[in-house]
């Protein structure tokens, strides 16, 4: 039996090497027939001796696993989107923002922006543990069985890999495989797929993994995340991933390049703007990143995107169609957004029927008339927008589009504040979409995260006069909800349990949820941390508000105006009475001993795990950082501290302390 086990292991290793040669190196060393014969031999052995079958065997490449429900898993670190830019001038502005923070030499890395499906794959002991889609950036769906069928993704690694790490990249549909799939669709008399990206996304959600295997998806992996990663730059980490067996953007193909100036960046952009049509996969731009991890750490993040990276988007595809009419939407803040209703037209692989017109200035600038022939493109190839009018095709009797004067929902006269582009409906407590919009924001995942309650149910509750504001949610009763259409016992109880559970959400989430204009997630956290409770925030002066880190005049004015409204104060009093958290709950044993300190944790520890130490740092006011820089306060080092981190710390004269010294520091014994 031992011989059989060894044979299965040897065959698996050989087949994986052939997969790597063919799909990553594009350098096959045996024929397809020979490969298939060896694969069949392995399949037969695994069938006969299932006790020796490996979950990451090469036989998994052909699929066959059925997944009826894709489990939702939270990402270890959020998969943020990138800020977009469309011109050299905007890249220069981005670099100027970088230069304000990084006053030393820095280089950039440019790489292709693959038009596919973002994926995060975790490896443990050199084997795939799980693969998760981007989802909403915080959590995604597990698609491990389907990812195993993608032959360019290694099931087992080679080389000196970390014990556990995450690698991210983009799964895409090679154009020759996509075109072949559509040829088969045509021959079968079936509708063809619209575009490679959407088809790749749909393929990755197939319940039968053998269908995924047949379609021949591919993947580039380029973002390496590990506490054990000793590389100091993004470029070096990508190269290291290549050594482990991953298909990476290669410098020799000019898919990735180090640049030291805007001119070099633009050379890369211009080259690929011309050459992208010759690739066997689609790209929609170029990603530009600061190369150094330490400098990335200094630059940090906004709530939505890293400050150390930006995406340059190529000029979008443009088509012409007819403007049928303009309608108007009312947002939760009362902002009025005009929407162009278009004669349906195919654009970048999807049928476009509507486009945003943003505001009255945009309508005036375009000088829009009904039935105009308009140029439409996808801004960032996602949101359609009108960019021009074919004036020579305009009917002389065409009616000019005039921005409305009254709210389309409640009839209230619109206002436009000085210095602002949008019109607003000021009837915030009587305009239905504003009321339901505020409630929908309040219950959303990043706010109160109330399970069992969605937008449709909010509309239903409002239309039945059961709720008129966010506080009314906490007065709902079982019989009221059960009486609603499509509500059963279980869904009713889930909704009530979700409302009850939301009372435990921390102060910063509640502050974000109540919907103060310009107060997003990040601002809410800063205000909560600074003022500690809602009463202090309500009483804060303008000067006190603008003195908070990253709080400008616009936010300060908005916060004060919100709390000057008696109705808002009444709702907050009601929410307090229902038990919501309106102050920061200080964790037990917490202190400010590490306030203002940036700390790197490296190595293996005796009494506490690495994560426990990181939590302890935050509980005592410190900040965990991943890379050593001149701003690092000290390194908390255990056994087997990374040699490059040790070197860097000594070079910059950063103190290195032991676990015992650190714990004594927290206790106050040192």
Catalytically active residues, by annotation: 113
Contacts of residue 656, defined as CB under 8 A and 6 or more positions apart, other chains included, come to 634, 635, 637, 641, 646, 649
Q: Is 3 exposed, middle or buried (0-12, 13-18, 19+ CB in 10 A)?
A: exposed
Q: 23 vs 27, 58, 214, 274, 356, CA distance in Å?
A: 8, 13, 15, 26, 42
Structure tokens at 550: 């990253």
Residue that the structure tokens 């709080």 belong to: 551
> How far is residue 139's CA from residue 135's CA, in Å, rounded to a whole number?
6
Count of Cβ atoms closer than 10 Å to residue 315 Cβ: 10
Q: What is the H or E stretch that residue 137 is in?
A: none
Hey, what are 448's tokens? Answer: 């109160």
> 3-class DSSP state for residue 661?
helix
Question: Beta strand 634-637 with 598-602: parallel, antiparallel or unpaired?
Answer: parallel
H helix and E strand count, the chain: 24, 20
Buried b / exposed e across 36-73, counting CB within 10 Å, b at 16+? eebbeebbebbeeeeebbeebbbbbbebebebeebeeb
Query: What does R_g of the chain's alpha carbons equal in angstroms?
Result: 28
**Mode of pairing for the β-strands spanning 598-602 and 623-624:** parallel
55 SS3 class: coil
User: What's phi and psi for 592, nearest 5 deg?
Assistant: -110, 25
Q: Looking at the DSSP assignment, which residues form a beta bridge with residue 127? A: 124, 156
| Distance from C-alpha of 488 to C-alpha of 507, rounded to nearest angstrom | 32
Tokens of 155: 């099931």
Specify whether the CB–CB gap between 341 and 368 falls below 8 A. Answer: no
**Alpha helix stretches (DSSP H) within 276-400:** 293-299, 360-366
Taking Cα atoms as reference points, which of 523, 118, 625, 549 lies closest to residue 303? 523
């Amino acid at each position: 039996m031992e011989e059989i086990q060894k044979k299965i292991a040897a065959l698996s290793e050989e087949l994986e090497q052939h997969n790597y040669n063919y799909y990553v190196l594009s350098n096959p060393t045996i024929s397809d027939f020979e490969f298939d014969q060896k694969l069949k031999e392995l399949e037969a052995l695994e069938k006969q001796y299932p006790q020796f079958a490996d979950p990451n065997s090469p036989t998994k490449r052909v699929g066959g696993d059925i997944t009826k429900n894709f489990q939702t898993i939270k990402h270890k670190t959020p998969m943020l989107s990138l800020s977009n830019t469309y011109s050299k001038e905007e890249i220069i502005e981005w670099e100027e923002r970088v230069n304000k923070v990084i006053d030393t030499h820095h280089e950039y890395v440019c790489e292709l922006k693959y038009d596919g499906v973002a994926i995060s794959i975790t490896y443990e002991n050199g084997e795939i543990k799980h693969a998760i889609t981007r989802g909403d950036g915080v959590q995604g769906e597990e698609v491990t069985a389907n990812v195993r069928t993608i032959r360019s993704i290694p099931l087992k690694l080679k080389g000196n890999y970390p014990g556990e790490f995450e690698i991210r990249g983009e799964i895409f549909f090679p154009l020759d495989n996509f075109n072949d799939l559509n040829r088969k669709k045509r021959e079968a008399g079936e509708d063809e797929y619209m575009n490679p990206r959407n088809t790749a996304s749909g393929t990755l959600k197939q319940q039968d993994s053998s269908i995924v295997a047949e379609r021949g998806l591919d993947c580039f992996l380029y973002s390496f995340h590990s506490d054990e990663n000793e590389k100091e730059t993004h470029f070096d980490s990508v190269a290291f991933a290549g050594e482990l067996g991953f298909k990476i953007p290669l410098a020799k193909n000019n898919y990735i390049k180090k640049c030291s100036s805007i001119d070099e960046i633009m050379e890369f952009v211009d080259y690929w703007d011309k050459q992208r049509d010759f690739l066997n996969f689609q790209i929609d731009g170029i990603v530009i990143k600061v190369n150094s991890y330490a400098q990335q750490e200094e630059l940090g993040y906004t709530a939505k995107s890293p400050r150390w990276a930006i995406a340059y988007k190529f000029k979008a595809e443009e088509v012409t169609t007819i403007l049928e009419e303009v309608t108007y939407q009312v947002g939760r803040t009362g902002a009025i957004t005009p929407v162009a209703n278009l004669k349906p037209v195919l654009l970048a692989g999807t049928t476009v029927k509507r486009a945003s017109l943003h505001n009255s200035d945009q309508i005036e600038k375009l000088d829009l008339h009904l039935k105009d022939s308009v140029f439409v493109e996808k801004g960032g190839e996602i949101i359609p927008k009108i960019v021009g009018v074919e004036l020579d095709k305009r009917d002389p009797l065409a009616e000019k589009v005039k921005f409305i004067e009254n709210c389309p929902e409640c009839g209230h006269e619109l206002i436009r504040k000085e210095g602002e582009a949008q019109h607003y409906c000021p009837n915030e407590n009587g305009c239905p979409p504003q009321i339901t919009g505020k409630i929908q924001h309040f219950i959303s995942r990043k706010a109160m995260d109330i399970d069992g309650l969605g937008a449709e149910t909010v509309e239903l509750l409002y239309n039945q006069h059961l709720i008129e504001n966010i506080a009314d949610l906490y007065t709902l009763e079982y019989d009221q909800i059960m009486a609603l259409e499509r509500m059963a016992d279980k869904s009713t109880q889930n909704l009530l349990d979700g409302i009850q559970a939301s009372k435990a959400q921390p102060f910063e989430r509640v502050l974000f949820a109540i919907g103060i204009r310009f107060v997003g997630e990040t601002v809410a956290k800063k205000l909560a941390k600074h003022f500690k409770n809602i009463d202090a925030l309500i009483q804060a002066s303008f000067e006190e508000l603008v003195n908070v880190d990253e709080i400008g005049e616009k936010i300060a004015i908005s916060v004060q105006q919100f709390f000057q409204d008696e109705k808002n104060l009444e709702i907050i009093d009601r929410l307090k009475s229902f038990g919501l958290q309106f102050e920061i709950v200080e964790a037990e044993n917490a202190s400010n001993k590490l306030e203002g300190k940036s700390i790197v944790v490296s190595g293996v520890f005796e009494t506490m795990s690495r994560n426990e130490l990181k939590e302890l740092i935050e509980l005592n006011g410190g900040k965990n950082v991943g890379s050593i820089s001149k701003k690092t306060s000290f390194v908390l080092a255990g056994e087997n501290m990374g040699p490059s981190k040790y070197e860097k710390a000594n070079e910059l004269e950063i103190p290195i302390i032991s676990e015992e010294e650190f714990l004594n520091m927290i206790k106050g014994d040192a």
